[in-house]
Amino acid sequence: MQKKTTPVLQKIVYYIASLVGGYLFLGAFTDAISNVNSLVTIDVALYITFFFFLIILVANILIRNRLVRWSLEYKTIVTIKKIGAYIYAPIIGILLGIWLPLVIKDNTNDRGSFQMKKSQPQIKIKCQFPENPVDTLFILVTRFEDYINKTETTCFGKALRDKIEVNAVTDSIAIKVCYDDKLCPQTIEEAEKIQKQTFADIVLYGRLKDVEYDCAPSYFCFRSQPSDNLIKIAGGTKLKNVELNYERNKIGPDDIEKGNFHVDSKIFDSWLYALYNIKIGKPNPSLYIIDKNLPIKERANQYYQRSLLFYNLRNFKKCIEDLDNVVKLNNKFFKDKKDILIRGAAYNINTSGKTVMGDNYNPEYLTAAHNYLPLGTIVLLKNIRNKKSVFVLINDRGPFNRTREMDISQRAATNLGLKNNKTESLQMKVITDSYFYR
C-alpha cells in the first residue's frame, strides 16, 4: 500500500511553491514593464502592497462572519475560510517579488540609504556614440532646468552644443557633440547612468536659477560627468559630491555661445581644450592643442607639457621645437635648472657615419656628443659670449680630447654663434633625463 503524503507536508510544499512562483512571476512582470534604470519604482510597489492587503482584509471580514459560501457539487459546501490559509502564500510571494529586488538594488547603491523615488516614464535616448572611441572626443549635452521655479528651457543646452561645434570646426579638432532635450539629470548618479548608456566621453548638464521665461538670462551652474575611461587617462578619481557653484552674474544663451562662463575656475574654451588634450593630445601630441587664450606663462607650460609627450614618443625634433617656444614665451622657465660650465666646439665639418644611438649623423640636426650624459638627454646650451642659446639632443659619445667636453652639430653651432674649429665656454642645463638609453 502506497504511503500518502501528510497534509502538513502538502502545505509546506504548497507554501514554498507559491512563494517561489509569486516571486518569479512578479520579477518577470516588473522587469518587462520597467525602464533600464530600475525593476519597479517604490511608489508602484506601495500601491500593489496596499491592494493585496486590502484583499486580505476584506476576505478575513467575510470569512469571520461566514457571509460567503458556494457549492462545488451536491452536498459539498466550501467556504472561503477553508481556502483562506492557502491564498496567503502566493500573495506573500508576489509581495516578495516586488520588494526584494528594490531592497537588494538599494543596498548596492553608492548612497547606501533607502530612498523613496517617484516613477518616471521611460525616455528613449536619441544620442548614441561608438563604444571605446580612441580618435574623437564625444560629448553629450542635456537640457538645463530651473528646478526651483520648475522652468524648462532648451536654449541653454542648444547654445552649449553650438559653442562646442564652432570650436571644433574653427580649430579643426575631432570633437562630436550631441544635444538631447529629453534628458535632464539631477544627480551625479543619474548623469553617470546616462553616460554609460550613451558611451559619451563626458555628459554636460547643470541647473539654472531664477529663470523668468524661456531663454531668459539666469544664474547658470555647469556640471559634467566624465567616463571611467577619461578619468583613467587623466589619472584622476571619480567624484562623488560636487558643490553647485552658480555664475555670479546672470548669463544667457548668447553668453554661452561666446564662451563667457567658467568651468572649474577656467574659461570654457580652455576647459574644453584641456579635456580634448587629455583624451586625444596625450596619446597623439601632434593633435595636442595649445590654448592661445591662456596667459603667456600658462601657454609656455602647455608647450613644455607637449614637449614631454613628444619626448616620451622619442620624437626629439618636435620636442626641441616646443622647448624653443617655451623659452620664447618665458625665458626664465628653466631658471631652476642647474647651470654647468663646459667647453664646446662644432663637429669637424667632415664628420659622417652613425652615432652611438644608431642614427646617421646629420649636420642639420640639433645634436651633440658628450661622454657621460645619458644618450637621449636634451640639454639647453647658452653661449656666454653672445648670450645665444639652443636645445640639443645628446645622441653620440665624444669628444675624445681634453680641451672640451662637447662636440656640437653644425646647425647647433651656428645657432650659438660658434666659429669654425673654435672652442668656447658654454652654460649647460639638463632639461630631460633620458631613460631610453644608458
0.95 cut: is pTM over it?
Answer: no
**Do 365 and 270 sit in the same domain of this protein?**
no
- Enclosing domain of residue 267: 137-281
pLDDT reported for residue 370:
94
Residue listed under C-alpha cell 558643490 = 243
In this predicted structure, what is the pLDDT of residue 95?
62
Please tell me the predicted confidence (pLDDT) of residue 54: 63
- Same domain (yes/no): 244, 143: yes
Give pLDDT, residue 230.
80
Domain count along the chain: 3
Q: Considering the domain boundaries, does residue 124 fall inside one? A: no
Residue 270 maps to a domain: yes
Q: Is the pLDDT of residue 347 over 90?
A: no
Residue 330 is assigned to a structural domain of this protein: no
pLDDT digits (tens, 9 = 90+) for 296-323: 999 999 999 999 989 988 889 999 999 9
**Per-residue pLDDT tens digits for 104-117:** 555 544 433 333 34
State pLDDT tens for residues 132-178: 777 899 999 998 887 676 666 788 889 899 999 999 998 889 999 99
| Assigned C-alpha cell, 387 | 648670450
Same domain as 223, residue 151: yes
| Of 60, 90, 107, the domain-final residue | 107
What pLDDT shows up at residue 382?
Answer: 95
Looking at the predicted structure, is the pLDDT value of residue 247 above 70?
Answer: no
| 157 and 95 within one domain | no
Is 366 found in the same domain as 265?
no
CATH at 407: 2.40.40.10
255 and 150 belong to one structural domain: yes
Kindly state whether residues 100 and 167 are assigned to the same domain: no
User: Does residue 414 belong to any structural domain of this protein?
Assistant: yes
Q: Is residue 142 part of a domain?
A: yes
